[in-house]
Structures are given as structure tokens and as C-alpha cells.
Amino acid sequence: MKLFRWKGFRIRKRHKGAPARFVFYLMLPVLAVTGFLEYMMISQGQTSPIILGSTMFSGFILSGIVAYLLLYFPLYNYYKRLLHKRKLAKMIISRRLFVEVAKTGKNAKGKKTVYFPKIFYQHKKGYIYVRFPLDLGPFQSKFNELAGELEEAFYCDMLEAQREEDYICYKLLYDIEKKRMNIKDLEVKDYILELMQGVAWEINKTPHALIAGGTGGGKTYFILSLLKALIPLGALIDVCDPKKADLLDLGDLPFFKDHVFFGGGILSCLATNVEEMNARYEAMKASPNYKTGKNYAAFGFKPKFIVVDEWPAYYSSLDTKERKRAMQLLNQIILMGRQSGYFLILGMQRPDAKYIDGALRDSFGLRVTLGKMSQQGYKMMFDSTIKSLFNKPIKGRGYADVGTEQVQEFYSPFVDSDFDFMEEFAKYPEQEVA
């Protein structure tokens, strides 16, 4: 056990005015030079109000520009940390999370602070740590209930509340947009696909992906990004597009020839994959090298991905008998596909229970939302979360759970304006038979 562990900067009352003082200090050198010029002009008899006034005004404007440039370039991060400290100081003061008593003694006036909570702020490697005391003080219960408020106040993602000796430490992910990956860097290594720095989908351990998002949120681009990463893996891929929209165009490419389905072909696609999946199971069990726990890769089989975009639109188009059949096939792939290497990627605008029930929804290892979504939609997608999830007007931004039951802010891989998915996919020959 360490005798001393740095917990960060302790929040004091003075931090309430720290940002304003810092801006003043940045402006001070220019203001000082301006003042000196004014003094020299007056001492030389140049006392024209217009000249003096314009010099003073110009100095003030110049000092403001200098301060702005310094704040929003080299000193931006430092200034943001001062703002965070100010928010914490204002919270303590405005909510009166301290204890004062009247001063005693002869001629004593006013009050003195006898308890000011030991709250610490730390910024480290892209994370913010805020520690509140568990000292059995008068405000301990309030300190245990600040997760959601801190997340909204700092406009970043709360990862977890860690219990430490004498403290509760809130860990927030800061500057998460900087962790966004470029589409050109997306690749699968050892069946692990890193979707963003620190966010990876372990395909074999947490199979199947559920992707939700409204129109214009980036859902289709994210699905195409997944395909871009999976094809070099040697994966076999079937694509179902009930709306005959963006994904239908893939059928014109050699790799996707006879592997893009719509209308009645979607049900046949699902049925064929279930048959192939069961046949693969039998082949694995018949192998002399069969051993309980081994998956498809140990027997030389390639992974197979079945992409179904706009599942609710397809499901709604079916009659009662077809719906029952489609749901049975979906269940079999989700519940049995992991060991045999059959994986489902399901896209929809909102995961309503009438299209996919909660138990089945929870079986998806990767769950991603993109674009604007209602609180009800977030609750359906991440049923176990108690986080306060909110929207930002950024395409490709949302939330993700990679099978850890920790929901965190997420940015899909950035697609450059000159990147062409069709051109990328055209490089690959026809798929081999499963």
C-alpha cells in the first residue's frame, strides 16, 4: 500500500474566480505596455483625448485577441480544467456543502469555515477523476449521488464510480472525439475489431451486433465500415436490404454477387444460413480433433456474417406465419451461431420489443446507437443502464456497449470525403462457398 497517492488538485473557494483571473493575467502584459505608452504620450505633452482614447481602446482589443488566441490554442486544455474546477467550487458554495460557525471572542464578527470538503480534481491521459470524501461528514450521501450531474456538467461520458479508501472517485472519459478512428485504419486482429481507441469488439467472445439509429445518424456508414474491416479477415458475408436502399448496390460487385437479398429472398437467406450452420456443427462434431469448447476457427472454418438492415421494415412486411418463422431463424443464429462462426449484424432505427424481444436483444455482444435517439430508445437499447444519455448534433456519434455492460460515448470510424466503399469492395473477388 502506498503511503502517499496524489489525488489531484484540491478544490478551494478561490477556484470560483480562477478562469477570470487567468484571462486577466493573459491580458495584463499588453495592458501594461498600453499603459506605459499612454504615460509616455502624456509626459511628452500629447494629451489629445482622441489619440489617448484610441490607444487605450486598441490596447484593450489587442489584449483580448492575444488572450483568445492563447486560450484556444496552446492553453486551451489548461483553461478547460480551470472551468471544471470553477464548476466544482461553485457547486460547493451554491449548495452550501461546507459548515460555518460564528466567530467567538471579543469583538469577533462574521463566520469562519470549520468544514470544507476535500474534493480533488485530476486530469490524466484523457480521463477526468473527481474524488469526493467518504468521511462520514454531513454531505457524504450527496457525494454518492453526483454521477449524472458531473457527466452533464463536464459534457463528457461517465465510465464508473470507483470506491477508494476514504473517497468515491468518479471517472469520466474526456475529449472522446479525439479517440475516433479513421476508416482506413479499421482492421480485425485476432478476431478483435477496434472501433475506437479503447473500444473493441471481440467477435468470438461477444458475438452479434445490434446497431440502432435514426435517418442521417450514420448507421449505414457504420455497417459499411464493419464490412470493410471484416472482408480482409476472409469472412463470408450475406447482406439483406428490405428497403432496397444503399446496401442493395453491393450486389453489383463480384464479392457480393448472389449474396445480396431483398423481399422474399431474405427469409430464404436466413433459412439457408441456419441449415449451413447446423451442417457445420455436425462437421465439427464429426472431426477427429473435436473437443468441447473449440470453436469454428479451430477446424479451419471461416466466419460468416449475416447483415440485415432495417429489420423492423422487413418484419412488418411479413404475415403472421412468416413472422414466426423469421423470428425462429433469427433466434437460432443468435443463440447457436457463436461456436459455429455464424454472426448476425442487425440494423434498425429503434429496437422496439415488437420487432425484437428484450431477451434476444440482450444476446447481442455489440450494441451501438448512432445519431439522435429518445430516452426511451436508449432504455430499450441498453436496458441495464442508469446513465443519463444525451444527444449531440454530430453525425456518427452515439453510445456503445461492447459486451461489458458499460455504456460509453462512441464515435463511429471517420469516413474521408474521398473514400469510396464501392471502390474498396470492388478489389475483392467472389466469395468462396461456405
Residues 6+ apart with CB under 8 A from 97: 91, 117, 139, 142
pTM equals: 0.74
pLDDT in tens, the chain (434 residues): 455 678 899 999 999 998 888 888 777 777 777 777 766 767 776 666 666 566 666 666 766 676 666 666 667 778 888 989 999 999 999 999 988 888 877 777 778 888 899 999 999 877 899 999 998 888 999 999 888 888 888 877 777 888 988 999 998 887 777 788 999 999 999 999 999 988 899 999 999 999 998 777 888 899 999 999 999 998 999 999 988 878 888 999 999 999 999 888 999 999 999 999 999 999 998 888 888 878 898 888 999 999 999 898 899 999 999 999 999 999 999 989 999 999 999 999 888 888 887 778 888 999 999 988 888 888 888 875 556 677 777 888 889 999 888 888 899 999 988 899 999 999 999 887 65
Computed over every residue of the chain, the mean pLDDT equals 85
**H/E stretch holding 152:** helix 147-154
Cα diameter, the chain: 105
pLDDT score of 342: 96
DSSP H helices, 287-319, are: 311-316
pLDDT score of 53: 64
Q: Strands, DSSP E only, in 241-365? A: 260-261, 304-308, 342-348
What single DSSP character describes residue 134? -
pLDDT score of 256: 93
| Rounded-to-integer distance, Cα 240 and Cα 309, Å | 6
Residues 6+ apart with CB under 8 A from 8: 120, 121, 122, 129, 130, 131
R_g of the chain, CA atoms, integer Å: 30
Under 8 Å between Cβ of 85 and 121: yes
Nearest Cα residue to 160 out of 427, 405, 420:
405
C-alpha cell at 357: 424481444
pLDDT score of 113: 83
Percent of the chain with pLDDT over 90: 42
C-alpha cell at 63: 489584449
pLDDT score of 158: 79
Under 8 Å between Cβ of 262 and 241: yes
Domains, the chain, with CATH or none:
13-173 (no CATH), 180-425 (3.40.50.300)
pLDDT score of 20: 86
